Structure formats: C-alpha cells, structure tokens
Amino acid sequence: MKFRTLRRHFRESFKTLGRNGWMTFASVSAVTVTLLLVGVFVAIMLNLNKIADDLEHDVEMKVYVELAADEASTTALAEQIRETPGVAEVIYSTRDQELERMVQDFGEDLKLYEQSNPLREAFYVKATEPQQTAKVAQTIDEYPNTYEVVYGEGKIEKLFDFLNFGRNAGLILILALLFTAMFLISNTIRITIVARQTEIGIMKLVGATNSFVRIPFVLEGIWMGILGSIIPILAVVFGYLQFYDYAEPRLRGEMIQILAPVPFLYIVTGILFSMGVFIGIWGSFMSVRKFLKV
Amino acid sequence: MIKMKDVYKKYTNGVVAANGLNVQIAPGEFVYVVGPSGAGKSTFIKMMYREEKPTSGEIYIDGTNLATLKNREVPFVRRKLGVVFQDFKLLPKLTVYENVAFAMEVIEAPSDTIRDRVTEVLDLVGLKAKARMLPTELSGGEQQRVSIARSIVNRPKVVIADEPTGNLDPETSWDIMNVFRDINEQLGTTIVMATHNKNIVNRIRHRVIAIEGGLIVRDEAEGVYGYEI
Ligand SMILES: Nc1ncnc2c1ncn2[C@@H]1O[C@H](COP(=O)(O)OP(=O)(O)O)[C@@H](O)[C@H]1O
Ligand SMILES: [Mg+2]
C-alpha cells in the first residue's frame, strides 16, 4: 500500500465520522456508557484489592513492653517472640521511634512530648499466615515482660470475609458489565451494517480490495473508541480526585489506605483508553467482515 | 476482448440462467444484449465482472479467465472494466466529484492526477458545474452521467452496462446514449449494454445479441430489437 493511500484512509476515516452523524453518535455513546461503568468498577476493584493487600501483608501485631523491663529482659523477650511458632518477622521500636511514628501519623503537635516521652517500647510482629495472627498474639501475651498485644482482633476476620466477598462480587459485576457492553455495541454495529452494506458493495464493484475497504472502517472505529473514552476518563479522574481529597484525610493513621491518584489514575486512564481502542477495532472488524466476500 | 465458452450458470435455487453461452466480442465493438425479462441478460453481464461465477465454462476478459480467478484477484480484474447500472449505484454520502475520484483512489493514483482526470471526465459528461453536489441533489439522468464518468475514469477497455436507461425518461435516455456513443467512438471503448429499450436499439444500430432462457437465440451485426413489449 502506498503512503498516499494511507493518508487517504486517514482523511476518509475522519470525514466518515461527520458524514455518518447520528450513527457515530450512537456508537460513541455506547462506548461512553460502557467505559463509564467499567471505569467506576475498575476504580472500586483496584482499591478493594489494595485494601485487601494492605491487610493481608500488613496484619501485624504490636507488642507493648512493660515499662519496668530493663534492657536485658527486653532482649530476652525479643528472642522469645522470634522463636514463637508462626512468627515471621519481629521489628524492635524504641520509645523515640514510637513517638516519631505518632508525629508522622497525627501531626507536629505531638512533638511537645519529646521532653518527656510517655510511650512504651514496642515490637512489631508479623505472623507467617495472616489468619494465625490471633493465635500468635495470645501466645505472646503470656510472656513475662509483655504489657499488651494489640491487633485488629475480631474485626480482621470480618474484614477478610467482606473483602473476599467484595472482590468476587466486583469480578462478577465487571464480567456482566462487559457482556452487556458487547451486546450494546454489537447491536449498534448491526444497525450501522445495514446502512453500510450497499456502500461496501459499491466499493467492491469499482475494484476496491478488502483492505482498502476495511482500513478506513477500522480507523473510524478507533476514533470512535477514543472519542468514547474521553468522558469516562475525565469523569473517573476528577471523580477520584474529589473522592481522594475527601477520604484521604479521614483515613490518615488508619490501617486501611486508598490508592494515591498517581500512578493509579494513569493506570485507569490507560485501561479505559485501550479498551476504547480495542472496542472500536473489534466493532469495525465485526461490521465489515460479513460484507467483504462480495 | 471478451470471450465466453460453453458458459453454464445454475443458481442455488435450481434456476438455470445461462445454458451454454458462446460469444466473442472484439475490442471497440458496441453490443446490445436484448431479451425478455428473466432471460438471463443480467446474469450474462454479472458473470463478466465476476459478481457471479459460472457453474462451468470459461470467461475471458482481456485474456484473464474469470472462471478460475481467485477471490483476492477479483478487484484487479474489475479495474479493467467500467460498470454502469440501472440504479446508478453511487455512494450516497459522497459528492459527485468524490464518487468519481473514489474509483481512482482505489487504484492508488497520485492526487494531482486524480484531480485533473476527474475534472476531465466530469466535463466530458457535462457535469463539471455540479461536482460539489450530492447524488440526491441530481436528476436521474445526471446521476447516470456520474456513474458513467466513474466507469470510464480509469480508461477501461470495456464498459458494461445493465439497463442504463431503465429508470430514465425517453428524452434523458437519448442523452445518455449519446454519452455512450462518444465513449465508444472517441475513446474506442468496447461497450456491452443489456437493454429493454426498443427505440434505441432500432434507431442506433449496433450488434444485437438476443438471449432467451439462458441461450443466445440471435446474434446480428446492425441488428434490431425484435420483440414487442
Ligand atoms: N441470485 C439469483 N438467485 C437465484 N435466481 C436468480 C438470481 N438472479 C437471477 N436469477 C434467476 O435467473 C433468471 C435470469 O435472471 P436475470 O439474469 O436477472 O434475467 P434478466 O436480466 O434477463 O431479466 C431468472 O429466472 C431469475 O429469477
Ligand atoms: Mg436484468
């Protein structure tokens, strides 16, 4: 194929968008609706995934050490915890480090405690299996210099159940959504086919090859897919930024965190954009395929 | 130029529309194909541009056998022909100019060649002033001129036409016939035209091939229509 022919196909594909007025509008709307729903669900899913991951990997116990414990007994306690079955990781944190964490989580105001730090030393302990957290915590609680062991307690189990449910439900919803979308779009295409049938027949009559007929259609499909992805991308980006501004300060210091806008929104934008392009290519291939045998 | 040898065509519904056609058409000839409705005229025409494939037999266009032609080679044979239809078959959303230019874009002609040549043929059929109009803004006769312009724009050796005046009033039909005459006489293009128009066949004398029941029943140089309608 000559370069000028490729240029002709590009020019033609843009012109056809305008010439086909309402058909373009119908197809672009179908893509828009689809991607809007996909965008919202992808955003929810990815965040649920992130929360589940946070919890699964970061379910840690915090073991407070008795204030009375001296350095030797603290070291002994550390050794004891490390050798407890089911313990994966033990990190020691001094009183100063504890205060630093507090300042990070709750703000500079707490710096005034630097004069007389009321906090205890602590061990951050992770279980090899998140589900074993409760059992390990109980064991450690029995040790002589343990003041207290804290973790999500009963909430954790419930959260796991909820997250698993949420992830499965989300997956089913996305599949159902994609199915509906395919149906919606192929219906739109079926309507446009009837109008295109004669057109393609005439093109082939004057000696157009299959690819000569197909390429402008496919390009047109790509433009429609891209046009259809604009509104969903903007909606998800601005919607999420709003939501993030609202939710992020409220979750500060909590175990659960939502995804930061970067790179999350780039990923969602990429997904929506490529889905738009894919739907466009797929749609136009489907719509011309049948009529190229003439 | 065109040669058919024992061409036989049976449609899937069992209708035999060509029952052993043998014919030879020389370059530069003007041939009418006549016969009653359902005789097989359109089938005869369609097999020449490979819209239909013969069930058996051989069809040569400029040396290429259409009966054994592969599907992907069909476009290249069609480019050697110009085809004109009763219902014009113009692309409804393209302007007159774009419709004619399309046939040249298909053969990947350079854009300045396209511009010059399209203007030239539109001038030839008397439609230069209406180049920017859409087919729906034209009369039937004008639309047929556009389709004739499109059929000759790539300088084919043969133009085949299936009842090109079938949808036109008598006055306009004569105008269209004059365009075909010019193409045949001035450009030396071979013309094969299926027609129902008795007056035209009898007044502008050319070779007449009469088909009935898928058979050639008469083939005369300077023939007459020969049917009462
Ligand atoms: N695509 C087709 N499928 C089945 N039968 C057809 C088809 N095209 C034409 N025929 C039949 O073949 C015969 C010849 O048709 P056609 O070539 O169109 O005749 P004409 O153009 O002389 O009127 C008719 O009986 C017609 O019904
Ligand atoms: Mg006919």
User: What ipTM, to 2 d.p.?
Assistant: 0.89
Residue nearest to atom 24 of ligand 1 (CA): B38
One domain, residues A198 and A276: yes
One domain, residues A94 and A67: yes
Taking an 8 Å cut-off on Cβ atoms, the answer to whether B75 and A199 are in contact is no
Name the H helices within A59-153. 71-82, 95-106, 133-141
One domain, residues A130 and A202: no
Structural domain includes residue A233: yes
The CA distance from A275 to A195, in Å, is 26
Closest B-chain CA to A205: B78
A8, A20, A293: residue with CB nearest B105 = A8
Cβ-based contacts of B76 with chain A (< 8 Å): 207
Taking an 8 Å cut-off on Cβ atoms, the answer to whether B79 and A19 are in contact is no
Structural domain includes residue A7: yes
Domain coverage including residue A14: 3-55+158-289
**Ligand 1 centroid to B45 CA: how many Å?**
11
Cβ of residue B40 lying under 6 Å from some atom of ligand 1: yes
One domain, residues A280 and A172: yes
One domain, residues A203 and A138: no
One domain, residues A28 and A143: no
One domain, residues A165 and A272: yes
**To which H or E segment does residue A15 belong?**
helix A3-19
Neighbours of ion ligand 2 (CB under 5 A): B 42
Give tens-digit pLDDT for A47-95: 887 877 777 666 778 899 998 888 888 999 999 999 999 898 899 999 8
pLDDT at A230: 96
Structural domain includes residue A142: yes
Cβ-based contacts of A1 with chain B (< 8 Å): 108
Structural domain includes residue A294: no
One domain, residues A136 and A229: no
Give tens-digit pLDDT for B135-155: 999 999 999 999 999 999 999
Q: What's the number of domains chain A is made of?
A: 2
Closest A-chain CA to B71: A293
Q: What are phi and psi of B34, to 5 degrees?
A: -120, 170
Looking at the predicted structure, is the pLDDT value of residue B159 above 70?
Answer: yes
Q: Among A150, A170, A188, where does a domain finish?
A: A150
Q: How far apart are the first and last CA of chain B?
A: 32
One domain, residues A178 and A232: yes
Region of poorest pLDDT, from A171-185, A261-275, B37-51, B99-113: A171-185
One domain, residues A113 and A198: no
Structural domain includes residue A271: yes
Report, as an integer, the average pLDDT of A226-246. Answer: 94
**Ligand 1 centroid to B43 CA: how many Å?**
6
Structural domain includes residue A216: yes
Taking an 8 Å cut-off on Cβ atoms, the answer to whether A206 and B78 are in contact is yes
The CATH number for A71's domain is 3.30.70.3040
Structural domain includes residue A50: yes
pTM: 0.76
Cβ of residue B11 lying under 6 Å from some atom of ligand 1: yes
Give Dmax over CA atoms of chain A in angstroms: 96
Q: Among A150, A168, A202, where does a domain finish?
A: A150
A257 with A50: CB under 8 angstroms? yes
pLDDT at A293: 67
One domain, residues A122 and A182: no
The CA distance from A166 to A149, in Å, is 29
Give tens-digit pLDDT for A119-163: 889 998 888 877 778 788 889 989 988 998 888 655 566 666 777
Cβ of residue B86 lying under 6 Å from some atom of ligand 1: no
**Ligand 1 centroid to B8 CA: how many Å?**
13
Q: Among A96, A128, A150, where does a domain finish?
A: A150
Structural domain includes residue A115: yes
- B158 near A CB under 8 A: no
Ligand nearest to the CA of B46: 1
**Ligand 2 centroid to A189 CA: how many Å?**
32
Q: Pick the residue with more confidence: A100 or B133?
A: B133
One domain, residues A82 and A119: yes
Smallest Cα distance from A184 to chain B, Å: 26
Ligand 1 atom at minimum distance from B40 CA: 17
